[in-house]
Amino acid sequence: MNVLVVLAAILFLLMTLIGGNKGIRSFIALFFNFGVIIITTLFMTVPGLNPIILTLIACVIISCINLFFINKINIKTKTAFISSIISTSLLLLFIFFITDHAKIQGFGEEEIDELSMFSLYIGVDFIKLAASVIVMSTIGAITDAAISISSPMREIHYHNPDISRKNLYQAGMKIGRDILGTSTNTLFFAFFGGYLALLIWFKDLSYSMGEVVNSKIFSAEMITILCAGIGLTIVIPITSWITAVFLVKKR
């Protein structure tokens, strides 16, 4: 039996047992999202298509899956959706500026030996691709943060319909701050886990501090972690504000 099939079967079983219908939907969403990543990647190989635009389209579809398919279409998921898209676009601009300057695109000298049989002149802009990768790694966490803020805000508004827009916004910010620590931790550890081999490599080959900091791979991964943190943080005021505006205007 294939490891992946067995693990997927166990996950499906657990999600169905614990989550019921919603668990099954969440499991299907995993597959859809994986499909979106692969299809986006395939589109990125087409010359002339801008990876950044493709990433934005992919983020819209992924947010739809994460918010509207797993949950239902309602005011909570709608404001979370708008906030996710705005945060992602802002983040993408910032990251593109950074990847353009820091030149962290493509492959590092540590990786290039394994890729020696490949043609590297493939007509795909790797600088834009680097920005896309960082945003795609974060989009799951951004939609999660957005729904975690907009959903309790809706409850607060429901229980206190007379709440002012400003107070509702502040309540949202408070909720956001409470989840900030754990959601940044989720991403940090996910990335740390992925980079473990790299860290051992740097230590084993006794790279100096200066070599580590300036190497393409290390700085790319540090920038990914930090930008993920920035993205998760800016989604808090954006979601609080948009949800407050939508809910209080509706009255």
Partner 1 sequence: MDIFKDKLKTVTYKQLLFYLIVVLCCAGSIIFVHNNHSYYDRPIAQVIESELIDRTEFQDSMNNEDNLFTQHIKAEIKNGYEKGKIVELHNEFSLSKAYDFEFTVGDEVFINLEDNPKETDNLTGTIADVKRDKYLIVVAWVFIFTLLIVGRKQGLFSILSLAINAMLISYALDIYLAHSHISLLLICGIAAILFTVLSLLLVNGLNEKTYAAIISTLLGTFLSLLITYLVLLLTSERGLRFEELQFITRPYQMVFLAGLFLGSLGAVMDVAITMSSSIFGLYEENKRISIKDLWKSGMEVGKDIMGTMTNILLFAYVSGSIPVLILYFKNQYPLGLTLSLNLSLEIARALAGGIGIVLTIPIGVYITIFFVTKKRAKI
Where in 223-242 is the site for partner 1 (CB under 8 A)? 223-230, 233-234, 236-237
Residues 106-145 within binding reach of partner 1 (CB under 8 A): 106-107, 109-112, 114-115, 118-127, 129-130, 132-133, 136-141, 143-144
Q: Nearest approach, Cβ of 141 to partner 1 (angstroms)?
A: 5
**Binding segment for partner 1 among 25-33, 82-90, 155-163, 243-251 (CB under 8 A)?**
25-33
Quick one: 114 or 162, whose CB is closer to partner 1? Answer: 114
Quick one: 5 or 251, whose CB is closer to partner 1? Answer: 5
Task: Check binding of 7 to partner 1 (CB under 8 A).
Answer: yes
* CA distances in angstroms from 49 to 35, 39, 93, 115, 194, listed in the order given: 19, 13, 18, 24, 29
Task: Check binding of 82 to partner 1 (CB under 8 A).
Answer: no
Cα–Cα nearest to 191, from 213, 222, 219, 234: 222
Distance (Å, rounded) from C-alpha 220 to C-alpha 223? 5
Q: Nearest approach, Cβ of 48 to partner 1 (angstroms)?
A: 10
Q: What does the buried/exposed string (b/e) look like for 103-134 if buried means 16 or more CB atoms within 10 Å of the residue's CB?
A: ebbbeeebeeeeeeeeeeeeeeebbbbbbbbb
* CA distances in angstroms from 155 to 150, 173, 242, listed in the order given: 9, 15, 15
Task: Check binding of 167 to partner 1 (CB under 8 A).
Answer: no
